[in-house]
Amino acid sequence: MQNRGSRLVSAMALATATLAAVPLQAQDAGTPAADEAEDQGIIVTGLRREESLQDTPAAVTAFNAQAIENAGIERPADFIALTPNVTLVETQNAGNAFVIIRGITQNRNSEPSVAVIVDGVQQVNPAQFNQDLFDIEQIEVLKGPQGGLYGRNAIGGAIIITTKQPTDEFSGNVTAGIDNGFGYFLRGGVSGPVAENAFFRVAGSYYNTDGFIPNTFLGEDADPVEDYSLRANLLVEATDRLTFDVRGSINRLRTQGLYYNIVADVNDIAPVRVNNPGQNDRDINNVSLKVEYEGDNAVFTSISSYDTLEEVLTGDAFDFLPIEDSFFFNLFEGIFGPGNGFDLNQSQFLDVEAFSQEVRLASPTDGGRFNWMVGGYLIDTQRFISTGNMIDTGNGVFPVFRTPSTNPLNPQFSFLSDGQDNFAWALFANAGYELSPEFRVDASLRYDRDKRRQTTLTPQGFLPVVPGVPTAQSGEVRTAIFDDWQPKLTLTYEPTPDLTIYGGYSRGFRSGGFNQTGVGAESVNAGIVGVGDIFEAETADTFEVGAKAQIGPVRLAGAAYTTLSKNSYFFVFLAQSSTQNLGNIPETRINGFELEASAEVLPDFDINAAIGVTDSEIKEFPDPTVIGNEAPQISRYTINLGAQYAGALTDTLDGLLRIDYRRTGKTWWEPFNTTVREPVDIVDARAGVTFDGVSVTAFAANLFDETYNAEFSPGGFVFRARPRRYGVEVGYKF
């Protein structure tokens, strides 16, 4: 096992060195070739400064507005599918979609694996991530720990999303379409001036579909969706140095939930047969203020954000079958006699309120060879969660919020609830210096401290009692502090404008937290190791080398890395209380690499290819039989192939034809490696024409209707991935 990982990194290091050794002909600034290359470059800001993608010493995948439009990127899953060594586990409830980046995983009730920054404001809750993307200017995916730059939750990387900004002239865009759901959607934005030196932008999206996954018992689709979002932005240029940027957004999602299947093998596909359609409602609100003042010697930035999120999830419980076919009904009939059986359903309620504040001082953008930044960050979060089971009387399912159900049609069987008061703060500094036109060094350091306070709100009668284990008490308060330093050092060598070589070390940190009170005792009773009422903080130490090259029309990039992860997460569902819990894997070694290539082989015709490989090995675990296994939720590799023509068909008509292929390798789901999903192959396609600002585009996602399970949870819970979706959309820009 150990030799396997070292050989993998050695091979990739050799490949990267070979890439760096490719002879390149330097292009003088001002030549047509250099101008053309500059025109094709994407300017990224992921390293807190503006640089071309070619010059940025990091593994970055970026999509500008045109690429977003051509690829049909509408949700996070769309751009993640185009990014090597990054996968998204889409789960049953809308608020949970887990980003897995270079083997750094995410799970229910955990902090995210990546820092997600939208227009400079960091998202404070992982349930905010899985939303529609509309009116977007640029998306950047930075791989590898970015703790020194973005701190909180940047243990696996950072995702930087920039929406379209207010304009000084009235303009806008609108897109409407239909799909085979039967669904229909509308999205767009308008922008313009409201007064001298004041500009606005309003954007929104709406999607409504009957669904795609049939519930064979109820005779209807299990996954209908109604989802709408609205975002508004007011930019005030008070002076030529001082700007105020006010933003607000809402999202309302209504769908169904908890239509799992129970299987022994993740590759088994079973029909959905729940007798309760379930309910999954999510409400998100955000308001933020960004103030920026450009002084002669420094730029001051203040970012304040207030967020609320409320989600209720209710529906069938284990084993997600009609009442008379269910495990519990037949079990209780066997115990109590015919006519005395009953089934269960379940409910979860989450309510989160957070305020965050960041202030920083930075060198001017034209500061020359030396740039720097110092700052601080704080976030105060109030979080309530309740989970529980109710007896399914056949009269439907009803949500349960802060107290156990007293509804005679929905009698409470089990119930757990907790309140959390979390306060975190950080101080950070980073600096970069060009030692010469070819050499640069960048360094950053951040200290994060997270204090968590949990109050048990479960009524005493519902707390689990396990012989030999102290019983939790309603009203008791527990506290825990998680903190760490996050350094980052990067060395960059750029012998020509067309070759960038970099390497360095970085550490990522992710806070620990509390499972719901009582699950530690319940885990002991169930014989589950590694799960308690508290899960520990995770750290990831990474060494990385990489190179980027431009050889005529061909663009190449490669990176190799090795990461030592301590206390990564794994997921455990406890059916007795319907709780979703996290345990820790004490130590995991992750090795991997990425190779990417793209080229304009003919005018307006581009091709691309990429491979990302992740090899993980559990080094320490309470159960010695797990040591040497693959870490949970990690896919062994991703392969991307794509081709696109986007150019003129006639003097007045432009055309688009695009095909994207993605193969996701074998995926493991829990530390014991009892099941592994076989590789999944997905093809997406788009074709359309544009004339006089109007575009008509046909699209197909999962063109060949690959059937697979998107998620597997211990206990055999699987969630079906969406089958083929296709349709047509019409857009207009003005």
- pLDDT, tens only, 666-691: 999 999 999 999 999 999 999 999 99
Task: Give the mean pLDDT of 539-552.
Answer: 96
Pick from 338-347, 527-536, 583-592, 656-665: least confident: 527-536
The angle subtended at Cα 307 by Cα 97 and Cα 148, nearest 5°, is 70
Task: Give the mean pLDDT of 645-658.
Answer: 96
Give residue 40's pLDDT: 43
pLDDT digits (tens, 9 = 90+) for 261-284: 999 999 999 999 999 999 999 999
Q: How confident is the model at residue 107 (pLDDT cuts 50, 70, 90)?
A: confident
Contact (Cβ atoms closer than 8 angstroms) between residue 669 and residue 675: yes
**Cα distance between the two ends of the chain:** 58
pLDDT digits (tens, 9 = 90+) for 225-259: 999 999 999 999 999 999 999 999 999 999 999 99
Pick from 132-141, 215-224, 521-530: least confident: 521-530
Domain ranges of the chain: 2-733
pLDDT digits (tens, 9 = 90+) for 402-412: 999 999 888 99
User: Percentage of the chain with pLDDT > 90?
Assistant: 74
Find the DSSP H helices in 102-234.
147-150
Give residue 22's pLDDT: 38
Give residue 47's pLDDT: 77
Contact (Cβ atoms closer than 8 angstroms) between residue 726 and residue 702: no
The topology under which CATH files domain 2-733 is Maltoporin; Chain A (2.40.170)
Give residue 41's pLDDT: 64
Give residue 577's pLDDT: 59
Contact (Cβ atoms closer than 8 angstroms) between residue 672 and residue 624: no
What's the mean pLDDT when you consider all of the chain? 89
pLDDT of 388 > 50? The answer is yes
Give residue 469's pLDDT: 67
Task: Give the mean pLDDT of 459-478.
Answer: 83
Residue 3: strand, helix, or coil:
helix
pLDDT of 160 > 90? The answer is yes
Q: How many CB atoms lie within 10 A of CB 334?
A: 11
Task: Give the mean pLDDT of 33-49.
Answer: 57
DSSP string, 259-296: --EE-SSTT----B--SS--EEEEEEEEEEEEEEEE-S
pLDDT digits (tens, 9 = 90+) for 497-508: 999 999 999 999
Give residue 286's pLDDT: 96
pLDDT of 37 > 50? The answer is no
Give residue 578's pLDDT: 59
Whose CA is closest to 248, among 197, 172, 308?
308
Give residue 12's pLDDT: 44
Cβ-count burial 167-198 (b if 16+ within 10 Å, e if not): beeeebbebebebebebebbbbbbbeeeeeee
Contact (Cβ atoms closer than 8 angstroms) between residue 187 and residue 134: yes
Task: Give the mean pLDDT of 519-528.
Answer: 70
- For residues 525 and 519, give the distance between their C-alpha atoms in angstroms, rounded to a whole number: 10
Pick from 346-355, 360-369, 723-732: least confident: 360-369
Give residue 713's pLDDT: 86
Task: Give the mean pLDDT of 476-481.
Answer: 93
Burial group, residue 235, by CB count within 10 angstroms (0-12, 13-18, 19+): buried
Give residue 34's pLDDT: 30
pLDDT of 21 > 50? The answer is no
Burial group, residue 236, by CB count within 10 angstroms (0-12, 13-18, 19+): middle
